[in-house]
Amino acid sequence: MLSQASAFPIHIFFRVNLVSWSSSRTMADGLGGWLLLLNTLIATLGILLVTIEGPHEKHVEEVSRYVRFGLWWIVLGVASSIGLGSSYGAVNRKIII
């Protein structure tokens, strides 16, 4: 059972965390609109660059190759972290009869 003296710091701890959480939530809500707008503008620019023909096509293709290369390594890292690609389970499994 908690005494009155030990419960007081816990009460302060929860109050400080609540105030901190609510202020960070307000800040995130304020930044969220700007981030959504920025992401929408970047996506629109990217779609326009990919769909419109012009002298920028070779640069768009090069960026596309870099993005695919980066995504490939990210996928390999995720697959490796969850254990795909390791042959431990398939090769070293002993059958007990």
- For the chain, give the number of residues: 97
Which positions ≥6 away from 10 have C-beta within 8 Å?
2
Digit-coded pLDDT (tens) for 63-96: 999 999 999 999 999 988 888 766 655 555 555 5
Question: What single letter denotes the amino acid at residue 84?
Answer: L
pLDDT digits (tens, 9 = 90+) for 16-58: 666 666 665 666 666 777 888 888 999 999 899 989 999 999 9
Q: Any residues with CB less than 8 A from the CB of 85 and at least 6 apart, and which?
A: 76, 79
What is the distance of C-alpha 81 from the center of its chain? Answer: 16
Does residue 51 contact residue 60 with C-beta atoms inside 8 Å? Answer: no
Domain chopping of the chain, boundaries = 1-52, 56-97
Q: What is the pTM of this model?
A: 0.50
